[in-house]
Amino acid sequence: MPVDTLTLTADRVLRPDGSLRPGAVSVAGGQIIALAEEAPADAVYLPGILAPGFVDLQLNGGIGIDLGATDVNSFQRVLARQPAAGVTSVLATFVSCPIERLFAAFDVARQVTSRPADVGARLVGVHVEGPFLAPAWRGAHEPSFLRAPDRRLIADLVEGCGDLFAIMTLAPELPAADECISALVDAGVVAAIGHSGADAATAEHAADLGARLVTHLFNAQIGLHHRRPGIVGQALTDPRLTVSIIADLEHVAPVAVRLAFRCKPGGVALITDAVAAAGLAPGRHTMPDGEVVVVEGEPPRRPDGTLAGSGLSLDQAVRNAVAVGVPVADALLAASTVPATVLGRTDIGQIAPGAHADLVWLDADLRPIQVWIAGTLILPNGRLPY
């Protein structure tokens, strides 16, 4: 092995197949170069769990900063907070907004990716949530920003934003949604369905066209009914569809979290959907997209009581899932390997030779102790240990 190799060993190492067992992970040049069953004598022993760095498919912002309406430095401040929660890769989420603002946000994101990651999570792309959403299921999205699906806008986004454009969420029942889903798939963008009152047949048709993700299952979509199973029923039974879940136990009840994991082994991605109000003190706050009320221990809400995203961290989502009965390995996979697989990425979200050396060491309570991004050790407070 190279002379600068670091080998970490733990009693429980999460492998891509979901098994948790003793192992040794060797790192050099920012990559994982070996995963072995037995550790060499000079390996660093980590009591607890060694897991892949977490991947958040839906991060809107935090500490008063909306990633879709900010500058490069503030954007990086939000990314710098993520390793404390075990997160090493992020999709910035831009919600429904004026189109010129959307392109401006992409320009900021592009500048962020051109700078060194420093101590923050890696920005791996952008999730565009809207504006092609069903008005009746818009949730906290501003209704004046919603618009009918438009393939030309998708073409403009693909041309102007390139590889940063990773996921787009839209309502599949809207006119011209079919051609938009096809355009996204053809461009290599993950087509996600959500904020929708679609029935099961429409959701199945979207999957036939290539949609592969259901955005925040159970939220902002028609509920499950035994004669009208809707988008939820299709999502829980269609192996082509991965579902993302906000497991703060407020957006989704514990039994519904268990239901999703039991119906879809390896098909659940934990997300935060954390918004600009995440991390702010209780009170009423003015955000770029309107006022939000923060109450301690509860998710942010609009003044009318509508849920407005979450204040969740991804490590807390893992702990919540485990607390309601999800096996530890399944919860960790849902925060790492599953979301990476949604993106078609094998270089993040897994402990395997050739992947980035993005790792999180967790204690017995599943709290991050230390995090490595591309082999660089970062302390949970987001600062380098020197």
Quick one: which of 100, 178, 92, 68 has its CA closest to 132?
Answer: 178
The reported pLDDT for the residue numbered 385 is 45
| pLDDT average, residue stretch 352-358 | 97
Residue 117, classed as helix, strand or coil, is coil
**Per-residue pLDDT tens over the stretch 134-161:** 999 998 899 999 999 999 999 999 998 9
Q: What is the pLDDT of residues 183-212, one digit of tens each?
A: 999 999 999 999 999 999 999 999 999 999
H or E element that contains 129: strand 122-129
The top-level CATH class assigned to 53-342 is alpha beta
Separation between Cα atoms, residue 37 and residue 369, nearest integer Å: 23
Whole-number mean pLDDT of the chain?
A: 93
The C-alpha atoms of residue 263 and residue 239 are separated, in whole angstroms, by 10
pLDDT bin (cut points 50, 70, 90) of residue 9 is very high
DSSP per residue over 22-51, as a string?
Answer: EEEEEEETTEEEEEESS--TTPEEEEEEEE
In the chain, the amino acid numbered 339 is P
- Mapped onto helix, strand or coil, the DSSP state of residue 163 is helix
303, 307, 313, 315 alpha-carbon torsion, rounded to 10°: 150
Range with the poorest average pLDDT among 50-64, 168-182, 297-311, 314-328: 297-311
> Does pLDDT of 68 surpass 90?
yes
Lowest mean pLDDT among 108-117, 174-183, 208-217, 346-355: 108-117
> In 3-state terms, the chain is what percent helix, strand and coil (to 5)?
30, 30, 45
Residues 30, 53: Cα–Cα separation, whole Å: 13
What pTM does this model have? 0.95
Structural class in CATH, domain 6-51+352-378: mainly beta
* Pair of tokens at residue 220: 């902002």
Nearest-CA neighbor of 361 among 332, 340, 341, 321?
332
358/385 Cα distance (integer angstroms): 16
Instruction: Kindly state the average pLDDT of the residues 27-51.
Output: 94
Domain ranges of the chain: 6-51+352-378, 53-342
- Phi-psi label, residue 281: left if phi above 0, alpha if psi -120 to 50, beta otherwise: beta
Indicate the pairing of strand 65-66 with strand 61-62.
antiparallel
The contacts of residue 162 (CB under 8 Å, 6+ apart) are none
Ramachandran class of 216: left when φ > 0, alpha when ψ lies in -120 to 50, beta otherwise = left
Alpha carbons 149 and 337: distance in angstroms, whole number = 31
> Which are the contacts of 142, defined by CB distance < 8 A and separation ≥ 6?
96, 97, 289, 290
To the nearest 10°, report the CA torsion of 160, 72, 169, 161.
10
SS3 57: strand
Contacts of 21 by beta carbon, 8 Å cutoff, 6+ apart: 12, 13, 15
Active site residue 273: yes
Q: What is the arithmetic mean of pLDDT over 248-273?
A: 97
Catalytic residue of the set 238, 273, 289, 315:
273
CA dihedral 304, 308, 311, 313 (to 10 degrees): 150
Task: Please tell me whether residue 128 adopts helix, strand or coil conformation.
Answer: strand
